């Protein structure tokens, strides 16, 4: 794999389409995703459930479950076209060059294998490391993510560890082979706020010290604000807006982004303030929507929005949105 990127992104996803062919219908999970990640950059991907965030991550690693398939687009990782690689090469990349922190640590580990056995499998497959070397590396990895008494803990089965400890184990497994890209899919799901803060601090440290590129998938805009450099807002399988985090929070351009930000409770809000919610429901994933998919829920929608799909166009340096009538003024959310 090439080590020199010559200024190119570490990961470059272009016009990605992913669908699931069911018996009586087709689910259009991702429609035209564009995403890039540079070394040392943390990119947040946000959106409602069903917007295509997790499927996009699976596509990058070519792990879309059957009957899903990538129907169109390019995925270039460190100079290699992921879609064109043989499966044998992809097995070398998964885990070694691209690390994945799955959504649910409680169901991601094999319950009949010890923690050490999980690490042995990864270290043996990618680094040809066995025996004492593997045990020492496992202890080192568990210690690096804050697991107390790692030499004892690695001999435990997953059910003996807490949710926070299991999430740390998953992070250690993802980092075992020093990957260049780390994908964290909802890494703080089902964890209390104190453990969430610890996990996210660990995530930041790993990115900073290893200079790896990172994708953080989450529903939580607060997490994006504090732990990402750039954000991609997805809706109905499409990118609605992308910008640097500070720019997006100060000047949200897409009505959907604005709606998400307005839904976040604020400590400074008056008690009489009505809690904001985006009206309506997302479109059915089994239907190809004409026009902007957010139009039925958008207060700014016009006939043009309902009949013509807006392209993702740059409206400022590093700030792009897919909207015919972007929000121009600085909103109350930014004040």
Q: How far apart are CA 240 and CA 185, in angstroms?
A: 20
Average pLDDT over residues 195-216: 88
Specify the pTM.
0.90
Give the pLDDT of residue 267: 67
**Helices 131-144 & 115-127 angle (0-180, nearest 10):** 110
Give the pLDDT of residue 116: 96
pLDDT at 189 over 80: no
End-to-end CA distance of the chain: 46
Q: Which helix (H) or strand (E) covers residue 206, if one does? A: helix 193-210
Give the pLDDT of residue 207: 87
Tokens of 311: 């392209």
Give the pLDDT of residue 193: 83
pLDDT at 160 over 90: yes
Give the pLDDT of residue 191: 76
Sheet of 80-81, strands arranged across: 26-37, 11-21, 68-77, 80-81
Tokens of 162: 């807490």
Tell me the C-alpha to C-alpha distance, in Å, between residue 196 and each of 5, 91, 93, 190, 217. Answer: 34, 31, 28, 9, 14
Cβ neighbours of residue 159 closer than 8 Å, sequence gap 6 or more: 111
How far is C-alpha 327 from the chain's CA centre?
26
Tokens of 130: 């066995």
Give the pLDDT of residue 330: 46
Cβ neighbours of residue 104 closer than 8 Å, sequence gap 6 or more: 189, 190
pLDDT at 332 over 60: no
**Model confidence pLDDT, tens digit, residues 60-119:** 999 999 999 999 999 999 999 999 999 999 999 998 999 999 888 778 899 999 999 999
pLDDT at 334 over 60: no
Give the sign of the dihedral formed by CA 267, CA 268, CA 270, CA 274: negative
Average pLDDT over residues 233-253: 95
b/e code 275-292 from CB counts within 10 Å (16+ = b): eeebeeebbebeeebebb
Residue 313, Ramachandran bin (φ over 0: left; ψ between -120 and 50: alpha; else beta): beta
pLDDT at 1 over 50: no
pLDDT at 286 over 60: yes
Q: CATH assignment of 11-235, given 3.30.300.20, 3.40.50.2300, 3.40.50.300, 3.30.450.40?
A: 3.40.50.300
Name the band, by pLDDT with cuts 50, 70 and 90, for residue 129.
very high
Name the band, by pLDDT with cuts 50, 70 and 90, for residue 5.
low
Cβ neighbours of residue 317 closer than 8 Å, sequence gap 6 or more: none
Give the pLDDT of residue 272: 58
Max CA-CA distance within the chain?
68
Of 54-68, 179-193, 260-274, the poorest mean pLDDT is in 260-274
What's the DSSP call for residue 156?
S
């Amino acid at each position: 794999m090439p080590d020199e990127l010559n200024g190119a992104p570490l990961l470059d996803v272009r016009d990605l389409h992913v669908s699931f062919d069911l018996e009586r219908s087709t689910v259009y999970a991702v429609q035209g995703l564009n995403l890039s990640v540079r070394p040392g950059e943390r990119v947040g991907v946000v959106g409602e459930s069903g917007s295509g965030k997790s499927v996009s991550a699976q596509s990058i690693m070519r792990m879309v479950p059957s009957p899903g398939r990538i129907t169109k687009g390019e995925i270039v990782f460190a100079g290699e076209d992921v879609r064109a690689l043989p499966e044998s090469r992809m097995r070398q990349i998964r885990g070694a060059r691209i690390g994945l922190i799955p959504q649910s640590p409680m169901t991601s580990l094999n319950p009949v294998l010890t923690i050490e056995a999980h690490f042995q499998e990864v270290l043996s497959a990618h680094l040809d490391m066995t025996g004492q070397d593997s045990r020492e590396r496992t202890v080192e990895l568990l210690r690096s993510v804050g697991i107390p008494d790692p030499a004892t803990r690695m001999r435990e089965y997953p059910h003996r560890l807490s949710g926070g400890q299991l999430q740390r184990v998953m992070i250690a497994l993802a980092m075992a082979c020093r990957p260049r890209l780390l994908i964290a899919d909802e890494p703080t799901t089902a964890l209390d706020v104190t453990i969430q803060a610890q996990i996210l601090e660990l995530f930041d440290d790993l990115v900073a010290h290893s200079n790896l590129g990172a994708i953080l998938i989450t529903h939580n805009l607060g997490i994006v604000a504090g732990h990402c450099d750039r954000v991609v807002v997805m809706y109905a399988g499409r990118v609605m807006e992308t910008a640097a985090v500070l720019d997006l929070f100060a000047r949200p351009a897409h009505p959907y982004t604005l709606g998400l930000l307005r839904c976040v409770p604020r400590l400074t809000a008056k008690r009489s303030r009505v809690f904001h919610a985006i009206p309506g429901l997302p479109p059915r994933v089994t239907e190809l929507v004409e026009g902007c998919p957010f139009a039925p829920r958008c207060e700014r929608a016009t006939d043009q929005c309902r009949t013509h799909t807006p392209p993702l166009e740059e409206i400022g340096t590093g700030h792009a949105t897919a909207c015919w009538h972007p929000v121009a003024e600085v909103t109350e959310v930014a004040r």
